[in-house]
Structure 1
């Protein structure tokens, strides 16, 4: 084994294949250490293929072991000859593609069903269809010309025959508030069932993207993907969005997609016990979730690549994600839940698509505001989450949901733009004024410009407060749509200000590029809303390329891609000045999931000893060659939950044994012989003293090629190795003697120590 060098003469690596025929260890990675033109063994990373060993929830997977197992599975399939081998190969490939296709189809159907249910529940707060109770407003008024009054849709005051203006207002307010609260109560009832809440349903709260990111990086949380979670997430999400709370369905749809793919893989027995294969499937499903949420197949793939770190440098996984996204989007388009023959609700036309250079000034201003408010929203949300965790509200989540829903409903009824669902608000803010399409709450009335500006800014500020508190309550909730709505309100307000300025001073030099004909539109406030939405979303999520593509596919504004890119770029620069982490990374840090950000780390002269846990503080297994008893090992495994233990002979390091391997081996031995005093050793027979057959040989469990470094190596090197190699631990030795150990958890703490409220929600929540 190699003890790592210091700062000078840092090595580079090359990889080749290694086989160890005398054991059950096959086709594992090995590395060579190259220094001064001399090649010598660096690490021979070998892994026994244990297909029957399952990880416990809360642990992290061993990527090298899982990848070796997957290579071995494919090798065994490839060694089969003749027709049987061909059929086995076709079955393996067809099975995975069947899951991919069914995942895309299923998510498209689920997404369409959610859209219809959310729209119907939301419209139910305002009124009902005269000829069918289960028709939403779009379905009830289908077939009418633009701007034509729909007499079939009746408000509750009209349906109940209330004639007086005072009575109508009072009745509408009462029904609006009561139905909003009822939806949340339905969520509470759906989530408070004894079996669902205590066993599965708690994992259905929140967005799910932080957990999906952690799972894709190797965190094991199978309960998060269970069938009950799928059901409660879908139903609860529809009720939560329709309740009028400031939340969206986009993030939770990614969780729903992953749950659906996981369920299919188990039913069709495709992922098996291999965790890497499972994560590649979940990555494709996550892309499909974004595709359905935004109607953005390409954006879904890029979202998985940029935000979820999902594709493992594997082009095949990206291809599967693309196929799943396209199938999901086509399914959604075919069902057409909006009744518009469009993929999403926010598509806008490009009429009057020319933009002028002077508009870059208000757009950059919007980007700066988006970056500032995005950072503010993250800080408010984390502060609310920490307060909730340490207050009495943590013990009364149902009361919190009911109470805050009532507050939201009461305030929303006072602000006209908050009465409708966020999706409807955004759709109208993105549209340009057109007499044929009507006037949304006087938004296009030139005599009410300043009143509309005030209402839009007020709506944005109130929605920031609502979103900061709602995103974290015990209900399914996404943050994409409310963030888009906040930015769209601010963008439309800035657009109206610019338009009013142009109307007041049409001959000013700054407007010299505008058409001289006053009937031709120069300023497009609807596109300012799109710019504001992209800026706000960039400030909250810190996404870049995928965000631009999603907004382009969302709106169809091809000619305005460059302004959107500028807006996202500036908002990210501004937001990064107040912290590099977006909302999802911040929640991961607060929950202390074992997820390593890909950003560069500089050690400022520190060495590995700065974070290393000394050997004297480690739980180790001492093997002097005479053997230890099964009882001692069993007590060790039960007492400590570490994922593995160093094995020492005296003070010399023999290797490292994983806890799950040791646990499985002990259980197998006890199943054959219940004698707890039986001796066992980790030293191979050639090294163990004597040849006593009564001593069980556990040396095949031992990883003798565990990665070892010296404790004086730069800390930056250690962090890079964890990030690049997906390691769970690194041991440190000096002359063969164990000096310490660093785990992935230690590196996570190191990289997230500067995050606001890091670890504040790390305790078990459920």
Structure 2
């Protein structure tokens, strides 16, 4: 997430630093990167598209619907298998690492020279992270982080380069394995959302850009609208595989991802989520020797919370709300610190080699801090069966283990389960306090490194630690038996901390309920998450939204800003506007598509009175003067449409789709007409019916598309006359047809 391009003005060291808790990152042109384009989430309903749709009979439509369900099943199966692969490899590599380090520590505890054990631990961590960071920084930088912000942007309609490539999936899976085994304060659950999305995009298109292979299947779905729906299913399948929460996965995709939704999509996404968690459960149960038990529904299993032993009363509701307040404040502090750290990385750590060095440094520091805390701790607890996977005795008596090692000397997922279910008295309050403080800053420092990693599990681990400490403190202060079990407070603290950082409510409530296999805690978890979100939003945005804006992505929120009621389209549109005529020279089209300054997803197609030049330039050039009637060849500005032209966010999407649809065929399927001696009507070639449908997304891959640029071809004429579609976009914000006769396909 540190590879952000900002304007030089924003990076001016003489500028006054913003407030420590910025309420929101400034929304202005300085933070909108030109490298992002929009996806076409509205079909190009031109004449060719409509004619081809009419040729498809009822049986063909039923076949397409069956294929959709088959693709969703494949998405679920492959996402579950990828999750199994990650879990098994992490378990074996991490187990090998911890066994080697434990044997070394046990050996040198008696002989002296534990500094060698520290060096071994730090070296192993740095070595794993070195490989994981190198493959991300130098091969596929978009695989860094959890990938959730990028997938949110993709589903929002923003084209993020390489975000759903097969190469990205390979780097993401390899990177998250190496990051977790390298001992960083990360989790492997968050990246599963990105992995599931890549799988969905690849299967639904039936081809791979990374492999340069076209398998000639599922060609009907090679358009952005279909791809978007399948990526939504992949994101939900990733959540389902990570937490064993199929319903939570559907709600996550709805709450955090998809900007388009319908009833049939809900069923397909739920189906993919169920298939994903069942595949993971079945394969891991076989791997663990419990083929018929199906006891591993997700990558992390929080264990069962006994409702009778850990029941809550009405008197604890205010306590849970107070924990939500604490989670919101701590989440805001986490996000604010990470914001400043990300800005530092933008300024000074933008080179790949420096990013790799930073990742290795964080890995070595994490191992060093953990070793020092374990070495210094004298919190010894009786060794119980299954209390931890790799118990460290160090200076404790025989039959005892160091409780600080139970939190640090393990994978984060197992540490969370230990804090949830270890019996009362398993942790000293000082141990929990030190662990919370140190791990909080380590997790904050780690998020944003050039490695594949998620923030879900570190957030849960931090919250479980201070939540358990909260419960122990209540027991000490009141002495009442009602506060006896700190496990439920660890659960509430985990929910509060995660909610305070990522600001999810509905989906996270259901995910926590499904992961704990307990509906009883649904109401208090909801209260905790809502409180954490409300309190956190007072100070700063959620972590994912913050990084989306730091990436300069033009993200379209559900609602327009409350102070934008008087804003016009003229004030938010980019300039200069590049327009194309209905009959255009190929040379001009080549120049427009080759010009990085006008590298947009689509261009308005206009009817121009002057046939010598295309309508190019800023709105002041393409549009008529303010207050003057539109003349021939005038492109009417959306700002002239009325007092409130394009304020609605959904309206802005529709307007862009209309503009981008008009010239979409120019990139993939040109129709040329020669001038001069070959200008007779018989020499004109027009597009066939099969050439028009979804040309940008359903045509050949981008590398195979080309427009002739030789001198002999530059004067050929590309004719768009037959591609204009009937007006299906008349909107309250659009001008009447008589107002704008020149802008064909938009006003008609």
Q: TM-score, normalised by structure 2?
A: 0.70
Structure 1 position 454 matched with structure 2 position 426: no
How far did 1:372 drift?
Answer: 0.8
Decide which of 87, 91, 94 is 2:66's aligned counterpart.
94
Check 1:72–1:335 CA distance in 2 against 1; reply closer, same or farther (3 A cut). farther
- Cα contact 1:630–1:678 (8 A) shared by 2: no
Task: State the SS of the aligned residue for 2:539.
Answer: coil
Task: State the SS of the aligned residue for 1:593.
Answer: coil
Decide which of 490, 504, 509 is 1:529's aligned counterpart.
490
Find the counterpart in structure 2 of residue 51 from structure 1: none
Find the counterpart in structure 1 of residue 309 from structure 2: 352
In the aligned structure 1, how far is the partner of 2:317 from the partner of 2:90? 37
- Cα contact 1:291–1:300 (8 A) shared by 2: yes
Structure 1 position 404 matched with structure 2 position 362: yes
Find the counterpart in structure 1 of residue 150 from structure 2: 211
In the aligned structure 2, how far is the partner of 1:212 from the partner of 1:704? 34
In the aligned structure 2, how far is the partner of 1:465 from the partner of 1:536? 14
Matches within 5 A, 1:38-49: none
Find the counterpart in structure 2 of residue 632 from structure 1: 588
Farther-moved stretch of structure 1 (104-113 vs 597-606): 597-606
- Cα contact 1:732–1:738 (8 A) shared by 2: no
Structure 1 position 106 matched with structure 2 position 78: yes
Task: State the SS of the aligned residue for 2:521.
Answer: helix
CA shift digits 1:292-320 (9 cap, x unpaired): 1111111111111111135x231111111
How far did 1:629 drift?
Answer: 3.9
- Cα contact 2:83–2:241 (8 A) shared by 1: yes
Decide which of 194, 202, 212 is 1:263's aligned counterpart.
202
Find the counterpart in structure 2 of residue 501 from structure 1: 477
In the aligned structure 2, how far is the partner of 1:677 from the partner of 1:220? 40
Q: Which has the higher strand share?
A: 1
Check 1:63–1:263 CA distance in 2 against 1; reply closer, same or farther (3 A cut). closer
Q: TM-score, normalised by structure 1?
A: 0.68
How far did 1:459 drift?
Answer: 1.9
- Cα contact 1:59–1:219 (8 A) shared by 2: yes
Matches within 5 A, 1:276-675: 276-309=225-258, 312-336=260-284, 339=288, 341-343=295-297, 344-350=300-306, 351-395=308-352, 396-415=354-373, 416=404, 417-433=407-423, 443-444=425-426, 452-503=428-479, 511=480, 514=481, 522-579=483-540, 581-599=541-559, 601-603=561-563, 606-608=566-568, 611-613=571-573, 618-621=577-580, 629-639=585-595, 640-642=598-600, 643-645=602-604, 647=606, 649=608, 651-652=631-632, 653=634, 662=663, 664-665=665-666
- Cα contact 1:670–1:676 (8 A) shared by 2: no
How far did 1:569 drift?
Answer: 1.6
Find the counterpart in structure 2 of residue 42 from structure 1: none
Task: State the SS of the aligned residue for 2:459.
Answer: helix
Aligned residues: 580
CA shift digits 1:642-667 (9 cap, x unpaired): 33136254534478995686474477
Task: State the SS of the aligned residue for 1:224.
Answer: coil
CA shift digits 1:481-527 (9 cap, x unpaired): 11111111110110111122243xxxxxxx4xx5xxxxxx7522111
Check 1:353–1:641 CA distance in 2 against 1; reply closer, same or farther (3 A cut). same
CA shift digits 1:581-608 (9 cap, x unpaired): 3221222222232331113533465241
Find the counterpart in structure 1 of residue 128 from structure 2: 183
Check 1:324–1:590 CA distance in 2 against 1; reply closer, same or farther (3 A cut). same
CA shift digits 1:693-720 (9 cap, x unpaired): x9764323457859689xxxxxxx97xx
In the aligned structure 2, how far is the partner of 1:630 from the partner of 1:165? 80
In the aligned structure 2, how far is the partner of 1:379 from the partner of 1:585? 13
Cα RMSD, aligned residues only = 3.7
In the aligned structure 1, how far is the partner of 2:261 from the partner of 2:45? 14
Could you list the runs of 5+ residues in structure 1 that have no partner in the other structure? 1-55, 80-84, 129-152, 435-442, 446-451, 504-510, 515-520, 681-693, 710-716, 719-729, 743-766
Find the counterpart in structure 2 of residue 166 from structure 1: 112
In the aligned structure 2, how far is the partner of 1:403 from the partner of 1:282? 35
Find the counterpart in structure 2 of residue 116 from structure 1: 88
- Cα contact 1:66–1:274 (8 A) shared by 2: no
Task: State the SS of the aligned residue for 1:247.
Answer: coil
In the aligned structure 2, how far is the partner of 1:696 from the partner of 1:66? 18
How far did 1:111 drift?
Answer: 1.0
- Cα contact 1:548–1:568 (8 A) shared by 2: yes
Identify the structure with bigger relative contact order (alpha carbons < 8 Å, sequence gap 6+).
2
How far did 1:157 drift?
Answer: 4.8
Task: State the SS of the aligned residue for 2:56.
Answer: helix
Check 1:298–1:72 CA distance in 2 against 1; reply closer, same or farther (3 A cut). farther
In the aligned structure 1, how far is the partner of 2:235 from the partner of 2:43? 25
Task: State the SS of the aligned residue for 2:604.
Answer: strand
Task: State the SS of the aligned residue for 2:504.
Answer: coil
